[in-house]
Amino acid sequence: MKCMLISLLATLLFFCGCGSRAKEQQQRALGEAQSIAQACDEKSRTGEIQTRVARVECARPTLQLLEQSGFPHIDIVQLIFAHQMVPAKQLDEGKISIEEAKLSIAELNTRITTEVQKRDMQASQAKSLRMIGWGALLQGSRSR
């Protein structure tokens, strides 16, 4: 489950149709988030963090960091954080295996990727329709 969060966030950023300045800021935030996640992984390895729930909580500052950067689809990022807590609690309680937790995260990743692609397609279609509308408006003004 280590760094699954970062791979999910990278997926979100990859599909985002953001402008270059915004994307640069979000890439920096993603890099900082990755550093936080790696620090939490290290704390987990050294025993400073002893439960998986504490590991998820350790990475929580990345959420605020990403929100402040204008990270795309922040509602999905919030969903990722909320969803990670469920298998973490179940693992800590011995209710599921690590393989089941990984499967749960992989299924979430698939759903997230599909949702982001759908949103981006809708945004692209809306932009195309606006461009068509502007084209028709401009053509109409030329014919007068």
Give the pLDDT of residue 13: 55
Q: How far apart are CA 42 and CA 47, in angstroms?
A: 9
Q: Answer for the pair 63, 78: CB distance below 8 angstroms, yes or no.
A: yes
Q: How does pLDDT run across 99-127, given as a tens digit for each residue?
A: 999 998 889 888 888 888 898 888 888 87
- Compute the residue count for the chain: 144
The full set of domain ranges for the chain reads 4-142
Q: How far apart are CA 17 and CA 120, in angstroms?
A: 7
**How much of the chain, in percent, has pLDDT values that exceed 70?**
78
Would you tell me how many other CB atoms lie within 10 Å of the CB of residue 133? 10
10 DSSP assignment: H
